[in-house]
Structure 1
Amino acid sequence: MNAVDLLAFGAHPDDVEIGAGGILAKHVKQGYRVAICNLTEAELSSNGTVERRRVEARRAAEILGVEQIIDLSFPDRGLGEREQINRMAQVIRQCKPRIVLAPYFEDRHPDHVACSRMAKEAIFDAGIRKKKTPGDEEAHRVSQFFYYFINDVHQADVVVDISDVYEQKVESILAYQSQFNPTEGEVSTPLNSPTYLAMVRGRDQLWGHQIGALYGEALKSPAPLKMTSLIQP
């Protein structure tokens, strides 16, 4: 694995794109190195196949400019084991990110909730010098950790202006055709409901409006944000 500036965890392929795709595209555009780590291959999804989802995930990453995708292949709806957290801590140590993103811990999908908790534990463990990971990598401390939102809207601590990359975000989500564009014989899900993508766009417009921009993506911090001055340069 290559070292990155920003590492985003998702329980399933498409989680990161929905909640933080614009943030990733924005940072790539600014010259930062970005990686996505998917915990599962979403093998229990109502539509599509694992093989198709892999292709879609790589197409979505290409659209966002993300060069590194890490697939841990944990079991879908089987998250939370200590060994899994150790593996995530190993990924953090190998990638050495300054910033880590994970889903917010209040969400309708239990896997998103589990991913949130596991990421927080993995970040903590990755910084413990005497804590062993599978490859015995050196400890690494993450500078900042933020939660992103997938299915819901909550009060934000940070809103990032993603207006200039918003259509990249939309295109990356639509790369998951198996999830958002059902064909004959596939079943209806919350994701392929006509209102889901409209909800995402409306939510991003709402957050954008709060900061005087067209579109924004919101983040929640588990700890107070450090400021050296209320007046920024």
Structure 2
Amino acid sequence: MKELDILAIGAHPDDVEIGAAGTLLLASKRGEKVGILDLTYAELSSNGTVERRQEEAAAADQILGSTARYNFGFPDRGLEKVREDAISRVVDLIRETRPRVVLAPYWQDRHPDHESVSRIVREAVFSSGIRKYSANLSLPAYRPSKLLYYFINSTVKPDVVVDITDVYEGKMNVLRCYRSQFEQEADSVATPLNNGYLESVTYRERLFGQESGVMYAEGFVSAVPYVLDRL
């Protein structure tokens, strides 16, 4: 198992990319190791198949330069039923990969799975630093230095933004890999994702950029204050 600089976690393949593909692209370009964990295969998605979604995720990874991608195969729309197992598995992965930063979905979202993952990751990050936590005791305790929350469907004022202007087109190319989700095809049913969703992502990143004095930015929320040694 490779150690990572950033571990980004989502419920479904494409969640992480919607909220943080630009940030991950920048990290990869700096030579940092980034990994993505999807907790489910999104088997209940209205469009596409599990097999196609995995192909799309692999194509996205090629652009992102991901070091590793994991999928725990928990049930789509059933994360609360496997909550404790999910926390334990995420703790193990954090201890194995020892990321400096963990990214999770913002805790308020129209999709309940995104909210479930947010809670699962928060508990896992905390428990991963407890030496006697009963996950895999062969792995030493480790707690990432930062846990930040990215946006999928909801938007609030971010605590921190990352200037993604230089990689904005790259981010959009990553999202376009998920054609089954974001494009209307012959056998597609209409969903919020294939009805102008990518345009709304562009608007959000442009808004965060305008507020920050750059062209495009991804926003993140922190549940705890940052500590600075100077301004």
Aligning the two structures, in what range does the TM-score lie when normalised by the shorter sequence? over 0.9
Shift of 1:58: 0.9
Q: Which moved more, 1:106-115 or 1:65-74?
A: 65-74
The 1-side partners of 2:22 and 2:137 are apart by 33
Residue 116 of structure 1 aligns with an amino acid whose one-letter code is S
Q: Which residue of 2 aligns with 1:129?
A: 131
- Which aligned pairs between 1:18-167 and structure 2 lie closer than 5 A? 18-80=18-80, 81-134=83-136, 136-167=138-169
Unaligned segments of structure 1, at least 5 residues: none
Count of residues paired in the alignment: 229
Q: Which residue of 2 aligns with 1:208?
A: 209
Q: What do residues 121-171 of structure 1 show as CA deviations (whole Å, max 9, x unaligned)?
A: 000111100112247311111101100000121011001000011111100
Secondary structure, counterpart of 1:191 in structure 2: helix
- Which aligned pairs between 1:219-230 and structure 2 lie closer than 5 A? 219-230=220-231
* Root mean square deviation, CA, Å: 0.9
Pair 1:187–1:135, CA change in 2 (3 A): farther
CA contact (8 A) 1:90 1:135 kept: no
The 1-side partners of 2:114 and 2:176 are apart by 20
The 2-side partners of 1:87 and 1:135 are apart by 12
The 4+ residue runs of structure 1 with deviation greater than 3 A are: none
Secondary structure, counterpart of 1:165 in structure 2: helix
Pair 1:51–1:89, CA change in 2 (3 A): same
Secondary structure, counterpart of 2:192 in structure 1: coil
Secondary structure, counterpart of 2:149 in structure 1: strand
Shift of 1:36: 0.4
Shift of 1:69: 0.3
Q: Which residue of 1 aligns with 2:193?
A: 191
Identify the structure with the greater helix proportion: 2
Pair 1:183–1:126, CA change in 2 (3 A): same
The 2-side partners of 1:153 and 1:85 are apart by 26
The 2-side partners of 1:214 and 1:226 are apart by 27
Residue 42 of structure 2 aligns with an amino acid whose one-letter code is A
Secondary structure, counterpart of 1:229 in structure 2: coil
Unaligned segments of structure 2, at least 5 residues: none
Q: What do residues 47-85 of structure 1 show as CA deviations (whole Å, max 9, x unaligned)?
A: 111011011001101111112101111100011320111
* Identity within the alignment, %: 49
Shift of 1:14: 0.2
Residue 82 of structure 1 aligns with an amino acid whose one-letter code is E
